[in-house]
Structure 1
Amino acid sequence: MTKPAYHRILLKLSGEVLIGQQGFGVDPVAAARIASEIHEVHEMGVETAVVVGGGNFVRGVAASAHGIDRVVGDHMGMLATIINSLALQDALEKCGSQTRVVTAIEVREIAEPFIRRRAIRHLEKGRVVILAGGTGNPYFSTDTAAALRAMEIRAEVILKATKVDGIYEADPNIDPSAKMLERISHHDVLSRRLA
């Protein structure tokens, strides 16, 4: 077996990857497929943390566009990430992975609170750590949470999995003629407002 390129990773999953063929919520088949792939990487000895979004249920920004207070919408999104984290935990454990769901908001009956040192210890003990609840603060995306948690747990890399296969010059879901960019610097992403 070849040595993995990284010892500790943070995988950022879009909530939409859990939709599968259903169009909404969590498709158990999609969750099982994703869990199987994570389990395979974890079995190679890679310490694995996962941040999963909640967009398959609700997005705070979208909810606020429909008249829901932005903070309330973001709190709804945080709860959606917990639902997704529990679904992923169930699927991972069916694959044989030991897991812990840790969350930025208090729901002690179903998940541990995020405590940096404890999360690192879970990784060191060979558990997949699923980081739920975003940052615990409104106005911050789960992408921001992924960057924050990656720094806190000292992940070597953030790997992002979404329903799109790269960075485009425009939203390919809105503009079918949008071209995928083969290479782009962080400066170009910011200057072209692609984030």
Structure 2
Amino acid sequence: MKRRVLLKLSGEALAGEKHTGFDEPTVTKVAKQVKTLVDQGIEVGIVIGGGNFWRGRSSENIDRTKADQIGMLATVMNCIYVSEIFRSQGMMTAVLTPFPCGEFTKGFSKDRANKYFQHNMVVFFAGGTGHPYFSTDTATVLRAIEIEADEILLAKAVDGVYDSDPKTNPDAKKFDEISIQEVIEKDLKVVDMTASILCKENKMPMLVFGLNEENSIVNAANGKINGTRVTV
């Protein structure tokens, strides 16, 4: 049976040093790594955050539900763009959403995703869960469970799970391995609490690593992780 992974990418990471919009060289590097996985016979699903366009509520005058809807649309834009860069690198792709987007995307269903995987396509899961108050972390874990992925590859700006924020604490300790139960008990915010509990209840492991490290996605998918293994 083929291996299947769910790769989570942050929108900010795709923006590179610009911190907003897209940085094509960064996205192309990601695409080349995913192409390596596809060539190895690994099935790849992808969730992308929307932080390079929209993060939370930019104004207290905006209702939380509407703000979250804007964020969902930001992830759709990200997935359409990144899928096109993937196609330029020789991959077939599909973008699925939990709500209608005209002819831009197809509606999400497990059966449709499985059909695309059978045709060696990279499947992008855009639009989050389709509901406000749920982050793309939660969407990542939910889709990973639904498509029966073997593991989640969590590519972040930080190179693993730490006991405190390494940006503010130079003495922060990085874990090579930690259980999802410890993540929840210590509130380490690897992913949000809803996503953490989903991982625990459905025994979905995660590999957390830095996106900017050389070949980090390929290495993580092949067990050569330089970050943190989150066990269940």
TM-score normalised to structure 1 length: 0.90
1:6·1:157 contact (CA, 8 Å) conserved in 2? no
1:47 aligns with 2:47: no
Does structure 1 residue 59 correspond to structure 2 residue 47? Answer: no
Distance 1:51 1:43, change over 3 A: same
Q: Give the Cα–Cα distance (whole angstroms) in 1 for the partners of residues 63 and 40 of structure 2.
A: 44
Of the three residues 62, 71, 75, the one matched with 1:68 is 62
Residues 23-64 of structure 1: CA deviation (Å, up to 9, x unaligned) = 21111111111111111111111111111111111123xx16
Q: In the alignment, is the contact (CA less than 8 A) between 2:95 and 2:106 conserved in 1?
A: yes
Question: 1: distance between equivalents of 2:177 and 2:89?
Answer: 35
SS in 1 for 2:44: strand
Name the SS of the counterpart of 1:129 in structure 2: strand
CA contact (8 A) 1:16 1:162 kept: no
Structure 2 match to 1:150: 144
Distance 1:110 1:159 in 2: 26
Equivalent position of 1:91 in the other structure: 85
Does structure 1 residue 11 correspond to structure 2 residue 7? yes
Counterpart in 1 of 2:22?
26
Q: Is the 8 A contact 2:2 2:41 kept in 1?
A: no
- Change over 3 Å in CA distance of 1:179–1:138 after alignment to 2: same
Among 100, 107, 111, which residue is 1:117 paired with?
A: 111
Cα distance in structure 2, aligned partners of 1:65 and 1:184: 37
Q: Which letter does structure 2 place at the counterpart of 1:147?
A: V
Q: Answer 1 or 2: which has greater strand percent.
A: 2
Structure of greater relative contact order (alpha carbons < 8 Å, 6+ residues apart): 1
Query: How many residues are paired up?
Result: 189
Gaps of 5+ in 1: none
Supply the distance in 2 between the matched residues of 1:147 and 1:183 (Cα, whole angstroms): 19
* Whole-angstrom distance in 2 between the partners of 1:137 and 1:25: 24
The alignment partner of 1:133 has SS state of coil
Q: 2-side partners of 1:133 and 1:81: how far apart?
A: 6
Letter matched to residue 9 of structure 2: L
4+ residue segments displaced more than 6 Å: none
Shift of 1:174: 4.4
SS at match of 1:158: strand
Equivalent-residue separation in structure 2 for 1:66 and 1:184 (angstroms): 37
- Matched-pair contact (CA < 8 Å) for 1:101–1:112: yes
In the TM superposition, what is the alpha-carbon distance from 1:85 to its structure 2 partner? Answer: 0.3
**Per the alignment, do residues 66 and 171 of structure 1 end up closer, same or farther by CA in structure 2, a change over 3 Å counting?**
farther
- C-alpha root-mean-square deviation of aligned residues, in Å? 1.8
| 1:153 partner amino acid | I
